[in-house]
A and B are shown apart, each in its own frame.
Chain A
Amino acid sequence: MNAMPDTAAKPSPYEAPELYDLLFETLDFDRAFWLRVGREAEGPVLDLGCGTGRVLIPLLEAGVDMDGVDLHPRMLDRLRAKAARRGFHPRLLGADMRDFTMPRRYARVICAFNAFAHCESTPDQLATLRCCREHLEPGGALVLHISYPGVALWLGAGEAPVLEHETSNPANGNRLQLYDRRITDRVNQSQHSEIEVRELDGAGATVASHRFEARQRWVYRYELELLLRLAGFARWEIAGDYAGAPLTRDDQQMIAWAWREPA
C-alpha cells in the first residue's frame, strides 16, 4: 500500500455497485419495517435513493407496486439486473432527488438508510421534500429515515480511520473491511468520510484496496420539522426507532412520517 497520503479526489461508493452489494446487500435491520410500510400503503410506493434495491427488491417480492429513483445509473443497472432475474421489471429513473418527475403519484414515498443526508444544503433539502410531496397522492405519506446526529458523532470524529463494517465475500471467502475516516464540521452539520474497503485473503493479507469519499449533511429533530413545514406537508410525526418508540435520546434513529393534505 502507498504510504503517502492520497489527496486525489476519490469516487463515490455508488460508483462501485458490486462492491456496495458485497458490503451492504445482506443488511436487514430495517427490512421488516419497510416491508410493513409497503404492505400497508394500499397503493404504489416510490423508493427514493433505491440504490441496488436492498429495500426495493424485497418489497417487490412481497407484492408491493414499487418504482425507484436514484442518482447513480450504475446502481440502477445492477438493481435492474437483480430484479429481472427474479422476474420483476420495476420503473426506475436515474435522477436527482431534488428534481425528479415520475408519471404517477404514490401512496408512500420512502427514503431509507440515510439517503436524505446526501442533501448537502437547506435549499437541497427543501427541494427534495417539495418534490416528494408533489409525488404523493392526497393523504399519502413520505417515510424517511435519518440517524440523529448525537454527540458521539461530533466528539468521536478524528484523524484515525475506524473499522465501521465487516463482511465476507461469498464467492471466495475473503474478508471485506470498511474503514471510515471522518472529518466533521459541527456548525455546518456536515461529515466528510474518506472510505477504504480492504479485501483480505484467508491468511489475512490485503489483496485489494478500494478508496472512496462521501459527504453527508446531518439534520436535527426540530430542524427536520421546520423543513417538513416549509415543504408544505400537512402534518408529521418523528419516532426514535423502527418500532415507533418516542425519540428521547441522541443515539436513536429518526423515522419521520409526513402526510400530504387529504383530498
Chain B
Amino acid sequence: MEGAPRGGELSVEATDLAQYIEPGLYDLAYSWHTADLPFWVERAQRARGPVLEAGCGTGRVLLPILEAGVDAEGLDLHPGMLEVLKQKAAARGLSARVHLADMRDFTMPRRYGLITVPFRAFMHLLTTEDQLRALRCMREHLEPGGALVLNLFYPTFERMVEPGDEERLEREFPHPESGLPVALVSVKREYDRVGQVLRAELELRESDARGYAKAVHPHKVSLRWIFRFEMELLLQAAGFTRCEVLGGFDGRALERDTDEMVWTAWKD
C-alpha cells in the first residue's frame, strides 16, 4: 500500500452505472424514505448563498428544496438519473439546473454557501484518494464561510458477523401509485472489514394484486464505510479547518454504532 497518490485512477464501482438500479425504478425503491427531507430542506433554506447537491440522483432531495424556493443546483454522474429528475421537475412546473458531473472532479462557474451530499452518496467513493479528490473539489466550490454537509452510516459490528448469504427484507412498502406491496430485499452482503467496503446485491420485488411476484429488479451497490476519526482526518487533509459530527438528523450526539453520522465542515 503505497502512500503516493494514484493519479487519475478511478474506482470502477463508482462509475459502473450498469450495476446501479434503473433510474426509472430508483424513486420506487426509496419512495418510503422521507425522514431526512425536513433536515435537508431546512439546511438549504438557512444557507447564506446558493446550494449545490452532489449525487442528486432523481431529485428525491433536490426537488423538495427547489419547491421551497431555494436557489439550488444538482450534479450526478448518472445521465439516466438526471433525465428522470428533469421529467419530474417539469411535471411539477420546476426548472431544475442539474449537471452531468463527477463529484471528484467538476468545475462550476459559481461558488456556493452550502454543498450537500445526502443519502450516503459519498460512500460510493471507494478509495481514500477518491474521497480526498471529492472533498477538495467541493471545498474549492464553497464561498468563504460556506459549509459542506453529508451523511454516512456508522458501521454496525453486529451486522458484519451475520451470515452474508441469507435474504433479508430491508423494507416493505406500498407502491406509491398502485398501493400494491413492494419489497426491497438484500440477497447477499459481503463486508470487507479491513477494506471497509460493503458489497450488497439487492432486489426490488413488485407484487400483483393477488400477492404473486410481478417483477424482480436485481441491482448491486458497493459502499465504503468511514470511521469517525478517519472522516475528521479526511476533512483535515482536504483543507477544512473546522467540522462537527452529529448522531442523526434530529441533532443528537454520536454515541452508538447504529447512529447515522451527519457531518458539517466549514470553509474559513
Contacts and interface: CB of A to CB of B under 8 A. Distances in A.
B228 interface: yes
Given A148-B194, A228-B3, A155 B161 contact: yes
Contacts of A230: 233, 236-237
A62 B256 CA distance: 48
Contact of B1 (A219, A220, A225, A227): A225
Interface in A148-164: 148, 150-151, 154-155
Contact of B194 (A219, A227, A250): A250
A187 interface: yes
B233 A223 contact: yes
Given A150-B193, A237-B2, A222 B128 contact: yes
A229 interface: yes
Interface residues of B, number: 28
B27 interface: no
A102 interface: no
Contacts of A234: 3
Contact of B229 (A122, A148, A151, A229): A122
B160 A236 contact: no
Contacts of B193: 150-151, 249-250
B1 A238 contact: yes
A235 B2 contact: yes
Given A154-B157, A230-B236, A225 B194 contact: no
Contacts of B229: 122, 189, 219, 223
Interface in B165-210: 193-194, 196
Contacts of A235: 2-4
A248 B194 CA distance: 6
Nearest to B160: A151
Max chain A CB contacts within 10 Å: which of B2, B161, B230, B256?
A: B230
Interface string A203-240: 00000000000000001111101111110011111100
Q: Return the 10 tightest CB-CB contacts between A and B, nearest first.
A: A226-B233, A250-B193, A223-B230, A186-B257, A235-B3, A236-B3, A154-B157, A151-B157, A220-B227, A151-B160
21 contacts: A122-B232, A122-B233, A151-B157, A151-B160, A151-B161, A155-B158, A155-B161, A186-B256, A186-B257, A187-B228, A189-B228, A221-B194, A222-B196, A222-B230, A223-B229, A223-B233, A225-B3, A225-B128, A226-B230, A236-B1, A237-B1
Interface of B: 1-4, 128, 154, 157-158, 160-161, 193-194, 196, 226-230, 232-234, 236-237, 254-257, 259
